[in-house]
Chain A
Amino acid sequence: MTCDKYENALLLTAASNGELDAKLARHLERCSTCRMTLRSERELFSRIDSALRAQVNGDLRPGFLTQLRLQLSKKLTARPGSERLWHVAGAALALVLIAMFYPLVDARQASVQGNLQTPTIKVPQSGGVKQSRRASEDIGVRSRHHSKRPAQNAVPQEPEVLVPPDEQKAFAQFVACVAKRDAVAQAFVTPVATKTVDRNTELPQVSSVDIADLQWGRARQKEWIDQTGSSE
């Protein structure tokens, strides 16, 4: 048997301070190296334990408990209501601060709502035309960011667009431009079958067609050939 087999058992025995296994004991009787290993491992663990014990089991300084009782008494004799008083004072201060700043917040909200409501242009929405819808959504981004409306109202049937006063003229031009395009687009999209137009689909009745030779002169013919030849 080799000593490698007993290595783990040796370390385990040394670490646990346990009794030797019979097999291991028999091996140790024969193997001096393993005996040395076990002895050194036991010494190591013993040193660790004694160092830890020395560290942990230090006695308290005699005056420590007296000092602790004194500290405890100080804490206990402190006015019991003082902590609660601080809580009440804190709550009162918080209320005062809210009362001070609430009008400012309210005024700010009112001004924001006013901005959202007054300069509004209603864009007529034509159904089924993607181009105009996308254009109105692009413009509507700004109004959606400012207004606190639910998501389903973000793309309304008739979107309200917030336009600053100095941009209203340009916006009106833009809307007109989009409306023109709508008309063109609608013409493309609208199915022809829905419209009932009386058309004469029959070929026109022509009684007779006379096909005559070209009555060009020789000089004119030559001129025409020269022109087509030079153009090529």
Chain B
Amino acid sequence: MQEFTWPGRTAETELAFDLETAALRREFEQRLEECGTLAFRVARGVLRNAADAEDVAQEAILRSYRRFERLRDPSRFRAWLVRISFRLALDHGRSARRREQRETAWATDVPKPTAEDIAASNEFGRRLEEAMAALSEKSRLVLLLTSMDGHSLEEVAELLQLPVGTVKSRLHSARKQLAEKLR
């Protein structure tokens, strides 16, 4: 089957388009490692499940590639990726169908529990999960990002495109709310 070509598009324009696509892809792959980790961590912070977080991160990165041409500025790209990963993770967590699939997968192929899984499965982890779920989405995202290694308040503010003062107040409020629920 012959490839579809818009009328009026010449071989030169096709070639230029292909070259641009290749350059875009190279640039994207250079950022993939850093951004993949970021997306995965955000998703894992919401979902507390590595397998689901991988799915979400993959989806977020594929989506981000579609928008990469418009988001070439690294700070804008990272900010966008954090937001889309967080949103997708929330949607994923809310989806009953996905949860059902996860449960059946868990029943058929029991994975080896990691140290984090064990920690999360204890009483404190359960209560912390409940308290986190009660937080607003904004506070939750700030809390997750500031908990990531190597993310200072300034970096989180840049990621969320917010003033540092706003990040500080949201973080303080979120920690206070968590402590009240866990006390």
Q: Is B77 an interface residue (CB 8 A)?
A: no
Interface residues of B in 116-134 (CB under 8 A from A): 116, 119-120, 124-125, 128
Q: List A contacts of B45 (CB < 8 A).
A: 52, 55-56
- Of the stretches A62-70, A132-140, A167-175, A186-194, the one at the interface is A62-70
In the complex, the answer to whether B124 meets A65 with C-beta atoms within 8 Å is: no
A-B contact pairs, 7 of them (CB 8 A): A45-B179, A54-B119, A56-B144, A57-B41, A64-B57, A72-B32, A85-B4
* B residues at A contact (CB < 8 Å): 3-6, 21, 25, 28-29, 32-33, 36-37, 40-42, 44-45, 48, 50, 53-54, 57-58, 61-62, 65, 114-116, 119-120, 124-125, 128, 143-144, 147-149, 172, 175-176, 178-179, 182-183
Interface presence of A199 (CB below 8 A): no
**Residues of A at under 8 Å CB distance from B?**
11, 15-16, 41, 44-45, 47-49, 51-58, 60-61, 64-65, 67-69, 71-72, 75-76, 79-82, 84-85
Chain B residues, Cβ within 8 Å of A82: 4
CA distance A54 to B37 in the complex (A): 15
A61 touches B50 (CB 8 A): yes
Give the top 9 A-B pairs by smallest Cβ distance, nearest first: A81-B4, A52-B147, A56-B45, A56-B147, A54-B116, A85-B4, A57-B149, A15-B175, A56-B148
Partner of B124, one of A15, A51, A56, A72: A51
The 8 Å CB contact of A48, one of B25, B65, B115, B128, is: B128
Residues of A within 8 A of B125 (CB): 51
Contacts of B33 in A (CB 8 A): 65
In the complex the two chains form, is B25's CB within 8 Å of A76's CB? yes
**What separation, in Å, do the CA atoms of A75 and B25 have in the docked complex?**
12
CB distance from B154 to the nearest CB of A (A): 17
A65 touches B48 (CB 8 A): no
Please tell me which one of the listed residues B5, B36, B42, B44 contacts residue A81 in the complex, with CB atoms under 8 A apart. B5
